[in-house]
C-alpha cells in the first residue's frame, strides 16, 4: 500500500513529454505570466496543470479537465486537493451561459446544533477542527461527476488515466511541500495514532507514490460516482470513520448530492462579475464590497495607497459584518440576497465612512474575536479551446483537513464542520463569527468564503480567478480584479501584488509583511487603524486567467506557492 521511492527515479516519462509539448507554443515576457493562444489550466501544482492540459489536448473540454485537474491535485497536493472534501464551481460556457455547482460538504444526519459544546455551553477546544468529529460528508466526487456528466465530452476512464498514472508513478516533493509536511509531522502522528504516508521525513526532490489512492481512483474510473457513495470505497470509508467514532453513516454518503445553484452576478463599471452564491459567502460579499467601493475613484487614488486602502477596508468591514449575521445554507434559511446587495442599502451602509478616521467595529455590529487562520484550500482556473471558462475552488478546510488520513484509500478527510458556527458569537478557526443562520443542523452545508469568480468585460469573457485563504479569499479575489481593471496590471502582476485584508473582526488590517512601505503603515496607524503584519504572512494564493485584447490568454500563477500555468 505504501511506497516511497527516494530520489528522482521515475520522472513520469509521459508527463515530461506532455510538459514540453504544452509549452511549445507559448511565450513569456518579463511582467506577464504564461501566454497561450487557445487554452490554459492554472493550478497549485505543475503536474495538475499539465494533466488538465493533456485532457484538453485529447479533445476534452473545461469540465473534463476539471475532473482531471481536481483529482491530480488530490494526488500531488494533498494539503488541499482532495477526495475527502468539497468545493464550488462557477462556469461560463462559450455561448455566455453562466452557472454554478455546489459540492460543499454536509453535516451528518446525526449532527446537532450544540454538538461542539460542553455541559456548560462552552465550545470544546479542537473538537470541530481536528480529528474525527470535525469531518463533514464529502462532496468532491459528486461534484466533479455532476459537472462532467452535464457538460463533459470524454469518458471517465480517459480522464482519470493520467491521474492514476501520477498516483502510481509518483510526483516530486517541492521545497514548500517538504516544509509543510515536516511542520505537520507530529499532528499527523497524534491524530492518526500511527505513521501515515506523509510521516516519512520527506525531502524536496524525492518522489512519492500513493498506490492506495491509485487503486481508489481506478475503482472510481471503473464504477463511476457511486463507487464513492454506495460502492466498495464508500463502505471502506464508513468502516474507517466509524472505527474512529464518527457519526457519519452509509446513509449520509448515499444521500449526498451536488447541487446546481444560481450564481451571484453583478456589475462593476463595465465589468459583469459572476461568483459563488450561498452556501458560500464569496459572491455576496464580493458584490457588496465592489458596490460599496464603486463610487470612489480608486484609479485616481492609486494602487495600495492610503485612500484606496481606507475605502476598501471600510467596505470589507461592513460586508463581513453582514456575512456573520445573515449568511448560511440557503436550503435551511432565507437569505435576503436582494436587500443585502442593493445599491440603496450599500450606499447607506457606507454613509458613516470618513477618510478622517476608521468606523469603529461596534458601530457596524457586535462580536468577539480571538482566532486566526492559515492558508489552505486550493483554486484552479481553466479556459478551454472551445471558449468555455471555469473557476473552481476546493478544500479540506484546514491544511490536510482534519489530519485524519485513510490509509486504505489514500486520502485525507476534511475538517469542514468548523465552518459552521458552533456557538453564536464565537469565532471559528478563521476568526469568523457566525450567528443562527450558520448553526449546525443535519444535512446542512456550512458557510464558506470560497469565491471562484468569472469576470466579463463588455459581455465577453475577461477573467477567471480564485484563491485559497479562508476568510481572506474574498478580499484577495477583490484586489486581483481591481489590480487588473483599475491599475492596468498584467494577470501575473495582479496576482503577485502585495495584499491586505480586513474582516470586521478582529478589528485590524492584516498586511503581508515586508510588502507595504513604513510611511503608509504609520499613516494608517495615525488614523487609528490597527495593523497586523505578523499573523498572516501569505494572504491568498490567487490563480487566474485573463483574456488579452488579441484573444490570447495570460495566466497568473501565484508566486507565493508552487502554482503553475500550462496551456497551448
Ligand atoms: N473552508 C474554507 C471555506 O470554505 O471558506
pLDDT given for residue 375 in this prediction: 61
Distance 448 CA to ligand 1 centre (A): 4
Q: What CA–CA distance (Å, rounded) separates 108 from 166?
A: 32
Give exposure, 476-485, as e/b (b: 16+ Cβ within 10 Å). Answer: bbbbbbbbbb
End-to-end CA distance of the chain: 36
Distance 445 CA to ligand 1 centre (A): 11
C-alpha gyration radius of the chain: 22
* Pairing assessment for the beta strands 98-103 and 171-172 based on DSSP bridges: unpaired
Look up cell 473582526; give the residue: 505
Q: Out of 26, 216, 274, 377, pick the active-site residue.
A: 377
pLDDT given for residue 435 in this prediction: 77
pLDDT given for residue 425 in this prediction: 76
- Ligand 1, closest atom to CA 418? 1
Alpha-carbon separation of residue 314 from 215, 358, 476 (angstroms)? 50, 7, 15
The Cβ of residue 329 has, within 10 Å, a number of other Cβ atoms equal to 23
Question: Please, what's the largest Cα pairwise distance for the chain?
Answer: 64
Query: Ligand 1 atom 4: the closest Cα is on which residue?
Result: 448
- Ligand 1, closest atom to CA 447? 4
Ligand 1: lining residues by beta carbon, under 6 Å:
377, 395, 397, 419, 448-450, 470
**Hey, is 24 helix, strand or coil?**
helix
- Ligand 1, closest atom to CA 449? 5
**529 φ, ψ to 5°?**
-80, 145
The Cβ of residue 98 has, within 10 Å, a number of other Cβ atoms equal to 16
Distance 540 CA to ligand 1 centre (A): 12
Q: What CA–CA distance (Å, rounded) separates 268 from 272?
A: 6
pLDDT given for residue 428 in this prediction: 73
Q: Best of 395, 412, 418, 451 to mutate for ligand 1, by most ligand atoms within 8 A of CB?
A: 395
Degrees to nearest 5, angle at CA 142 with 438 and 441: 25
- Ligand 1, closest atom to CA 397? 1
Query: Ligand 1 atom 1: the closest Cα is on which residue?
Result: 397
Q: Which stretches of the chain drop beneath a pLDDT of 50?
A: 1-29, 366-374
Distance 377 CA to ligand 1 centre (A): 7
Alpha-carbon separation of residue 157 from 161, 231, 426 (angstroms)? 6, 17, 46
Answer yes or no: are the C-beta atoms of 543 and 556 closer than 8 Å.
yes
- Ligand 1, closest atom to CA 446? 4
Answer yes or no: are the C-beta atoms of 53 and 354 closer than 8 Å.
no
Give exposure, 340-361, as e/b (b: 16+ Cβ within 10 Å). Answer: bbeeebbeebbeebeeeebbeb
pLDDT given for residue 255 in this prediction: 98
Q: What is the pTM of this model?
A: 0.93
Dig out the grid coordinates for 113 from the structure: 446544533
The reply to whether 377 belongs to the active site is yes
Answer yes or no: are the C-beta atoms of 472 and 501 closer than 8 Å.
yes
Peptide bond just before 502 cis, omega within 30 deg: no
DSSP state of 459: T
Query: Ligand 1 atom 3: the closest Cα is on which residue?
Result: 448
pLDDT given for residue 30 in this prediction: 54
DSSP string, 160-186: HHHHHHHHHH-EEPPHHHHHHHHHHHH
Q: Best of 80, 419, 466 to mutate for ligand 1, by most ligand atoms within 8 A of CB?
A: 419
Q: Best of 415, 450, 453, 503 to mutate for ligand 1, by most ligand atoms within 8 A of CB?
A: 450
Mention every residue, 6+ apart, whose C-beta is less than 8 A from residue 26: 34, 35, 36, 567, 568
**Hey, is 480 helix, strand or coil?**
helix
Amino acid at each position: 500500500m505504501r511506497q516511497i521511492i527516494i530520489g528522482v527515479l521515475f520522472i513520469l516519462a509521459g508527463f515530461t513529454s506532455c510538459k514540453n509539448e504544452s509549452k511549445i507554443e507559448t511565450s513569456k515576457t518579463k511582467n506577464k505570466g504564461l501566454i497561450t493562444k487557445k487554452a490554459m489550466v492554472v493550478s497549485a501544482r505543475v503536474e495538475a496543470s499539465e494533466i488538465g492540459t493533456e485532457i484538453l489536448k485529447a479533445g476534452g473540454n473545461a469540465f473534463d479537465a476539471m475532473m482531471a485537474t481536481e483529482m491530480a491535485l488530490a494526488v500531488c497536493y494533498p494539503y488541499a486537493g482532495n477526495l475527502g472534501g468539497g468545493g464550488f464551481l462557477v462556469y461560463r460556457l462559450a455561448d455566455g451561459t453562466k452557472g454554478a455547482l455546489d459540492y460543499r460538504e454536509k453535516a451528518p444526519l446525526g449532527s446537532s446544533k450544540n454538538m461542539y459544546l460542553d455541559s456548560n455551553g462552552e465550545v470544546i477546544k479542537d473538537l470541530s477542527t481536528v480529528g474525527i468529529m470535525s469531518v463533514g460528508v464529502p462532496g468532491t466526487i459528486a461534484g466533479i461527476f455532476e459537472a462532467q456528466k452535464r457538460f463533459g465530452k470524454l469518458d471517465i476512464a480517459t480522464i482519470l488515466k493520467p491521474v492514476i498514472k501520477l498516483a502510481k508513478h509518483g510526483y516530486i516533493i517541492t521545497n514548500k511541500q517538504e516544509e509543510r509536511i515536516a511542520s505537520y509531522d507530529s499532528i499527523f502522528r497524534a491524530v492518526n495514532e500511527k505513521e501515515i504516508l506523509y510521516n516519512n521525513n520527506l525531502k524536496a526532490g524525492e518522489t512519492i507514490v500513493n498506490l492506495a489512492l491509485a487503486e481508489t481512483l481506478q475503482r472510481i474510473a471503473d464504477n463511476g460516482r457511486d463507487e464513492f457513495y454506495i460502492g466498495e470505497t464508500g463502505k471502506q470509508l464508513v468502516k474507517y470513520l466509524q472505527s474512529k467514532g464518527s457519526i457519519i453513516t452509509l446513509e449520509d454518503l448515499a444521500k449526498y448530492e451536488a447541487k446546481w445553484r444560481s450564481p451571484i452576478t453583478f456589475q462593476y463599471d463595465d465589468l459583469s462579475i459572476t461568483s459563488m452564491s450561498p452556501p458560500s459567502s464569496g459572491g455576496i460579499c464580493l458584490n457588496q464590497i465592489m458596490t460599496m467601493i464603486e463610487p470612489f475613484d480608486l484609479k485616481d487614488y492609486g494602487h495600495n495607497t492610503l485612500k484606496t486602502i481606507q475605502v476598501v477596508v471600510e467596505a470589507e468591514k461592513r460586508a463581513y459584518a453582514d456575512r456573520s449575521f445573515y449568511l448560511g445554507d440557503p436550503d435551511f434559511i432565507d437569505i435576503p440576497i436582494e436587500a443585502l446587495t442593493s445599491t440603496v442599502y450599500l450606499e447607506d451602509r457606507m454613509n458613516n465612512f470618513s477618510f478622517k478616521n476608521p468606523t469603529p467595529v461596534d458601530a457596524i455590529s457586535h462580536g468577539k474575536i480571538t482566532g486566526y487562520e492559515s492558508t489552505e484550500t486550493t483554486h484552479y482556473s481553466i479556459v478551454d479551446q472551445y471558449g468555455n471558462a471555469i473557476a473552481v475552488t476546493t478544500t479540506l478546510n484546514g491544511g490536510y483537513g482534519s489530519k485524519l488520513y485513510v490509509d486504505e484509500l489514500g486520502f485525507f478527510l476534511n475538517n469542514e464542520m468548523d465552518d459552521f458556527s458552533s456557538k453564536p458569537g464565537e469565532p471559528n478557526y478563521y476568526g469568523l463569527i457566525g450567528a443562527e443562520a450558520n448553526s449546525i443542523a443535519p444535512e446542512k452545508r456550512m458557510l464558506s468564503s470560497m469565491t471562484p469568480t468569472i469576470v466579463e468585460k463588455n459581455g465577453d469573457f475577461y477573467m477567471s480567478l480564485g484563491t485559497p485563504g479562508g476568510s481572506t479569499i474574498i478580499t484577495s479575489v477583490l484586489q486581483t480584479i481591481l489590480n487588473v481593471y483599475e491599475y492596468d496590471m498584467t494577470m501575473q502582476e495582479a496576482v503577485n501584488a502585495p495584499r491586505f485584508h480586513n474582516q470586521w473582526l478582529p478589528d485590524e488590517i492584516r498586511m503581508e509583511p515586508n510588502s507595504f512601505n513604513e510611511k503608509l503603515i504609520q499613516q494608517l496607524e495615525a488614523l487609528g487603524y490597527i495593523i497586523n503584519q505578523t499573523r498572516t504572512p501569505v494572504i491568498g494564493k490567487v490563480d487566474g486567467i485573463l483574456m488579452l485584447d488579441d484573444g490570447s490568454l495570460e495566466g497568473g500563477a501565484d508566486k507565493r506557492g508552487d502554482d503553475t500555468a500550462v496551456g497551448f
